[in-house]
Amino acid sequence: MSGAAEARRALYIVVPVFNEAPNLERLFDGLRVVAQEASELDVSVVLVDDGSSDGTPNLARALGEGLELTVLTHGTNRGPGYAFGSAFAYLASRVRSHDLVVTMEGDNTSRTELIAKMLLRAEEGHDAVFASPYAYGGAILHTSAVRVVLSHVANAFVKEFIGVHGILTVSSFFRLYRGASLRRLQECYGERIVERDGFESMVELVMKMVYLQMSISEVPMVLDGTRRTGPSKLNTRRTVVGYFSLFGRKRAWRQRAAR
């Protein structure tokens, strides 16, 4: 094997899904474009099915033909945090320091065309790049008032109660992580990285990154609810309770990062 081949980087795209069959065709069309345009990277898709009952895993395998695709399955619905944890554990023995990992929604609200911009921003040396509707040039369109309020609550909660400042979006799934940074998180917090099973896991991950003094950059994103077919899977009450449950773990996570 040549040195050039050994140095070739991988891009892993992690997508948690739960009953997303109506959204998969558009999703895989976008992922295929990413794989074609990022020809300098070995692109692999890791789809985590979180207990779907609508045939999502089999449809994904059919639509993913021609892509490097791995489908991980849960027998029951455990939540997006658990799905991300399964993906991180799967990648633990695969991701190298120079590789890249993107996480995103499976309902098409994460715009795959933004991945190219996130890759460019990562080249500046940041540990992670978040796609943010609150960054200059971003927007939230055709999204329920409840979800918008929850996003603001998450941001306010993290800034005021957790002590994390300077990050505009803390609850979005759509992120890029450097392989070295992901491995560092796993060394500190375990292969799964996140403890929480729900949507609050994204805030948990931000907390852990900040406690490890990681650099986070953001690129603007337009979050458009019309790109999604079907209802959002977010449970408002459970998510709010989940946010406040993080406060009790703050000290332990910070102490672990300081070791």
Question: Taking the domains of the chain in order of start, what are their residue ranges?
Answer: 7-257
153: left (phi over 0), alpha (psi -120 to 50) or beta: alpha
pLDDT at 6: 58
Which pLDDT does position 1 carry in this prediction?
44
Rounded percentage of the chain residues whose pLDDT exceeds 90 = 71
236, two tokens? 């408002």
Q: What is the DSSP letter of 104?
A: -
User: 7-257 has which fold?
Assistant: Spore Coat Polysaccharide Biosynthesis Protein SpsA; Chain A (3.90.550)
**Which pTM was predicted?**
0.92
Query: Which among 36, 44, 34 is positioned nearest to 9, based on CA atoms?
Result: 44
DSSP 8-state code for residue 22: G
Expressed in angstroms, the distance from the first to the final Cα of the chain is 39
Instruction: Give the residues across from 236 on adjacent strands.
Output: none
* 42 has pLDDT over 80: yes
> What average pLDDT score do residues 221-248 get?
83
The answer to whether residue 234 scores a pLDDT higher than 80 is: no
Could you list the beta-strand ranges (E) of the chain.
10-17, 42-50, 68-74, 100-103, 128-132, 139-141, 175-178, 216-220, 222-224
Which of 89-103, 196-210, 237-251 tops mean pLDDT? 89-103
**Residue-wise pLDDT tens digits, 49-94:** 999 999 999 999 999 999 999 999 999 999 999 999 999 999 999 9
